[in-house]
Amino acid sequence: MTALARGKSQEALVSVDDQLASLERRIVRIVQADAHFERQIGVLDRQIDEERKRLDELETSLQGEATGQMLSAHVERFRQMLNDVGIEARPLPDLVEVSDPGCHSACKVDPISGGIGVQN
């Protein structure tokens, strides 16, 4: 650096120093932006992983549709927990509960006949 400074005027050296300071500020901003983008990439990667998991659950659910066993992953896990402690549980995917408190009815589609039964 000293060799480069020889023969240069003080004004020229100040100009070079100002340019170096400007470059340093730009580099700092780039490094800070890079860290920001790395954090954003991490957030997006986690979102992608969550969406892939959700897609896998939906695909599993759709595969079960063919057999009449279209159950969510939560229901399958609950069923497995019951099974693990010796409680046999059969899913009723065709059961529908009506939430109207004035009605308190439940409808069930018979998988064999396709008929609907209403119970008060």
Count CA within 13 A, CB hemisphere, residue 43. Answer: 6
Going from the C-alpha of 15 to that of each of 10, 36, 48, the distances in angstroms are 9, 32, 49
C-alpha–C-alpha distance, residues 64 and 29, integer Å: 52
Put the strands of the sheet holding 116-119 in their side by side order: 95-97, 106-109, 116-119
Extents of the domains making up the chain: 7-89, 92-120
Query: What pLDDT, in 10s, does the model give residues 93-118?
Result: 666 566 666 555 455 556 666 666 55
Percent of the chain residues topping a pLDDT of 90: 15
**CA dihedral (119, 86, 63, 71) positive or negative:** positive
pTM: 0.39
- Say what the pLDDT of residue 13 is: 73
Average pLDDT over residues 12-20: 81
pLDDT one-digit tens code per residue, 64-97: 666 656 666 777 788 888 889 988 887 766 665 6
pLDDT tens sequence across 30-75: 888 888 888 999 999 999 999 999 898 888 777 766 665 666 677 7
CB 94 within 8 A of CB 72: no
